[in-house]
C-alpha cells in the first residue's frame, strides 16, 4: 500500500473517533441526565485523547513528511497535506497529558457554565473560566505567534487572520456603523415589532422552525433538530449533521431565526463531499466563512421581504392570531433596530457591536490587562460604551455565551467576519442570479443553495478564507459591502 493510501486510511480512523466524541457531546448538551455529566466528561476525555494522540503521532508525521515531497497529488489531497500538516504541528506541541486534562476540565466547565447561567452566578463559573483562560494561554505559547498570543488563537478559527489585521477591519466598520445606528435611532421612524410579541406556545414554535428548515432545503434524512440551552450545529459524520434550538415563549420568531441560522451551518456541512471529511477538510474554509452561510440564511433571506411573502402562510397557519399581519408588516417587524443586551437576539445593525465588545475583552484577557475576576464589570462597561445598555445581572451579561466555557477564545470575531463575508457574497450572488428575490418569493430557495454549494461548500477547507473570498467575488474582504447592504435595507424601513 502506498503512502497516500496509508495516510487516507489513517485519517479515516481519526475521523471515526471524532465522530464518536461528537455524538457523546451532542447527547451531553441535549438529553443527558444531570447526574451523567461527570462520567461523560471522563469518556469524552478518553476518546478525545485517543484522537489527539493519533493526530500527533510519529506515524502521521511520517506520512505528512513523505507527502509534502510527493508530486501528482490532487487539489484536495494537496490541501489535506497542507491543512492536516499545519494542525499536526500545532497540536504536536501540546503534551498529551495536558490535553487530556484540558478536555476533562472543558466538559466540567461547560456544565458549570450551564448552571451558572441559569442562576446568574458568575462566582460559580469563575474558577472554571480561569482554567480555560490559563489553558488557552499555555496553548498559544505552544503554538507560537509573531506579535501577540491572541493571534495564535485567532488563527485556529480564521486561518491567516491577526489581531492587527482585524483592527483594520473593526475600526473603519465602527467609524461608519456607530453614526449610522445613531441616525436610525434619532431621525428614523421605527417599525412596529410588537405584533410578533405575545404568548406563543413552545411546541408550536418548534413546528414553525421545522417548516422553516424545510423551506431552505435542510434534509431531515441527514439531520434532526433538538432543544438545548444555547443553539449549536454539530456534524456527527458525513451525512449526519444535527442542529439544536431554544425557544422563548414571548417571541414568535426567535426560535425560527435561530433555526435558519443553525440550518445555514448544517447546509454548509452537508454540502461538502464525504471525501473531504475523510481527508480532514470537512470543517469549512474558516469559522468566518461558516458564519457567512448561517448569517446569510438567517438575515439576508430570513429577514427579507421575499422570504416573508413566501413564509407568511406558514406563520399564520401555526399562529392564527397573526393573520391580520401582511408580509410587509412582518418584514418590518423582524427588522426593528434596538440596542440590546443579548447577542443572539441582536439585530443586523447592532450585532457587530456585540462582537467588538467581546473582541476587546478577549484581547485584554490575553495581554494581561484584564483579570478573570474583573470580567463582569469590564463586560458591563463595554456594553454601555458601545451599545448604551448595561446588564442588570450576569446571566444577560458575561454569562450569556457558551464559547468561553469551552475555551473558544478567538472565535467571536468570526461572527463579525461572517456578516462581512455574507454581504460581499450576496452582492456577487445578485449579480449572477438577478431574479433571486423573485425565486425566493416563489419558494425556489434551492437556487441560492445550489450557488453556495457550487461556489463555496464543495471546496471545504481546500482554500483558505482570503483565497476563497477573492476567488468567488473577485475582491479581498471589504466592510463596505456590509455597510452598503445595511444602509440600502434599513434606511427605507426607517423612512430615511
- List pLDDT tens digits, range 271-289: 999 999 999 999 899 999 9
Q: Is residue 109 part of a domain?
A: yes
Grid cell at residue 61: 508525521
Same domain, 123 and 191: no
- Quick check: 370 and 378 in contact, CB under 8 A? yes
Q: Is residue 462 part of a domain?
A: yes
Domain end, chosen from 144, 175, 198, is at: 144
Residue 377 in 3-state DSSP?
A: helix
- Quick check: 261 and 439 in contact, CB under 8 A? no
**Which pLDDT score, from 0 to 100, does residue 454 have?**
98
Catalytic option among 110, 114, 158, 262 = 262
- Quick check: 376 and 397 in contact, CB under 8 A? yes
pLDDT of 377 > 90? The answer is yes
Q: Is residue 178 part of a domain?
A: yes
Same domain, 199 and 103: no
**Which pLDDT score, from 0 to 100, does residue 100 have?**
86
**Which pLDDT score, from 0 to 100, does residue 151 have?**
95
Same domain, 366 and 463: yes
Q: What is the pLDDT of residues 116-136, one digit of tens each?
A: 999 999 999 999 999 999 999
Q: Is residue 380 part of a domain?
A: yes
| Distance from C-alpha of 288 to C-alpha of 302, rounded to nearest angstrom | 19
Grid cell at residue 34: 444531570
68 carries an active-site annotation:
no
**Which pLDDT score, from 0 to 100, does residue 67 have?**
96
Same domain, 102 and 241: no
**pTM score, whole prediction:** 0.90
Q: Is residue 168 part of a domain?
A: yes
Q: What is the pLDDT of residues 79-113, one digit of tens each?
A: 999 999 999 999 889 888 898 899 899 989 999 99
Q: Which CATH number covers residue 346? A: 1.10.1370.30
Same domain, 139 and 176: no
Domain end, chosen from 109, 144, 179, is at: 144
The radius of gyration of the chain's CA atoms, rounded to the nearest angstrom, is 22
Cα–Cα nearest to 263, from 217, 301, 221: 217
Confidence of residue 1 (pLDDT cuts 50, 70, 90): low
Same domain, 194 and 76: no
pLDDT of 446 > 90? The answer is yes
Domain end, chosen from 77, 111, 144, is at: 144
Q: Is residue 48 part of a domain?
A: yes
Q: What is the pLDDT of residues 199-209, one digit of tens each?
A: 999 999 999 99
Same domain, 20 and 92: yes
Same domain, 140 and 169: no
Looking at the 3D structure of the chain, how many domains does it have?
A: 2
| Distance from C-alpha of 70 to C-alpha of 80, rounded to nearest angstrom | 13
| Distance from C-alpha of 253 to C-alpha of 425, rounded to nearest angstrom | 25
Same domain, 338 and 481: yes
**Which pLDDT score, from 0 to 100, does residue 96 have?**
81
Same domain, 262 and 116: no
| Distance from C-alpha of 362 to C-alpha of 342, rounded to nearest angstrom | 18
Same domain, 115 and 236: no
Q: What is the pLDDT of residues 281-334, one digit of tens each?
A: 998 999 999 999 999 999 999 999 999 999 999 999 999 999 999 999 999 999
Domain span including residue 65:
3-144
Grid cell at residue 264: 445555514
Q: Is residue 260 part of a domain?
A: yes
Q: Is residue 158 part of a domain?
A: no
Same domain, 127 and 171: no
Amino acid at each position: 500500500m502506498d503512502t497516500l493510501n496509508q495516510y487516507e486510511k489513517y485519517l479515516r480512523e481519526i475521523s471515526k473517533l471524532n465522530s464518536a466524541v461528537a455524538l457523546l457531546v451532542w447527547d451531553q448538551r441535549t438529553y443527558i441526565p444531570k447526574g451523567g455529566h461527570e462520567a461523560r466528561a471522563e469518556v469524552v476525555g478518553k476518546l478525545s485523547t485517543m484522537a489527539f494522540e493519533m493526530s500527533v503521532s510519529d506515524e502521521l508525521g511520517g506520512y505528512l513528511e513523505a507527502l509534502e515531497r510527493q508530486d501528482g497529488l490532487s487539489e484536495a489531497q494537496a490541501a489535506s497535506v497542507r491543512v492536516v500538516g499545519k494542525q499536526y504541528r500545532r497540536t504536536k506541541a501540546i503534551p498529551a497529558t495536558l490535553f487530556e486534562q484540558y478536555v476533562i476540565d472543558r466538559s466540567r466547565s461547560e456544565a458549570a457554565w450551564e448552571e451558572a447561567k441559569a442562576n446568574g452566578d458568575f462566582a460559580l463559573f469563575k474558577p472554571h473560566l480561569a482554567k480555560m483562560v490559563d489553558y488557552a494561554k499555555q496553548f498559544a505559547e505552544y503554538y507560537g505567534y509573531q506579535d501577540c498570543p491572541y493571534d495564535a488563537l485567532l488563527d485556529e478559527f480564521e486561518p491567516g487572520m491577526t489581531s492587527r489585521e482585524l483592527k483594520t477591519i473593526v475600526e473603519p466598520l465602527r467609524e461608519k456603523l456607530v453614526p449610522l445606528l445613531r441616525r436610525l435611532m434619532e431621525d428614523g421612524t421605527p417599525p412596529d415589532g410588537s405584533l410578533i410579541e405575545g404568548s406563543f406556545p413552545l411546541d408550536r414554535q418548534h413546528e414553525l422552525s421545522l417548516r422553516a428548515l424545510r423551506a431552505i432545503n435542510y434534509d431531515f434524512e441527514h439531520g434532526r433538530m433538538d432543544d438545548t440551552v444555547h443553539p449549536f450545529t454539530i456534524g456527527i459524520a458525513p451525512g449526519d449533521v444535527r442542529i439544536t434550538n431554544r425557544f422563548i415563549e414571548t417571541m414568535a420568531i426567535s426560535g425560527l431565526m435561530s433555526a435558519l441560522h443553525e440550518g445555514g451551518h448544517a447546509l454548509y456541512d452537508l454540502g461538502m463531499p464525504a471525501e473531504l471529511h475523510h481527508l480532514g477538510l470537512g470543517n469549512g474554509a474558516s469559522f468566518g466563512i461558516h458564519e457567512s452561510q448561517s448569517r446569510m440564511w438567517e438575515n439576508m433571506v430570513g429577514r427579507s421581504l421575499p422570504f416573508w411573502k413566501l413564509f407568511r402562510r406558514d406563520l399564520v397557519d401555526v399562529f392564527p392570531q397573526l393573520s391580520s399581519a401582511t408580509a410587509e408588516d412582518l418584514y418590518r417587524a423582524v427588522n426593528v433596530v434596538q440596542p440590546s443586551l443579548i447577542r443572539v437576539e441582536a439585530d443586523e445593525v447592532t450585532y457587530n457591536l456585540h462582537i467588538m465588545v467581546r473582541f476587546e475583552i478577549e484581547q485584554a484577557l490575553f495581554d494581561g490587562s484584564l483579570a478573570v475576576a474583573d470580567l463582569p464589570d469590564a463586560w458591563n462597561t463595554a456594553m454601555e460604551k458601545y451599545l448604551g445598555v448595561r446588564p442588570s445581572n450576569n446571566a444577560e451579561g458575561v454569562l450569556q455565551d457558551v464559547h468561553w466555557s469551552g475555551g473558544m477564545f478567538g472565535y467571536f470575531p468570526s461572527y463579525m467576519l461572517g456578516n462581512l463575508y455574507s454581504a460581499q457574497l450576496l452582492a456577487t450572488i445578485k449579480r449572477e442570479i438577478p431574479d433571486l428575490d423573485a425565486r425566493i418569493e416563489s419558494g425556489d430557495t434551492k437556487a441560492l443553495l445550489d450557488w453556495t454549494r457550487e461556489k463555496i461548500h464543495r471546496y471545504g477547507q481546500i482554500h483558505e478564507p482570503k483565497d476563497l473570498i477573492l476567488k468567488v467575488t473577485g475582491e479581498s474582504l471589504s466592510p463596505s459591502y456590509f455597510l452598503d447592504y445595511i444602509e440600502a435595507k434599513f434606511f427605507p424601513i426607517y423612512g430615511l
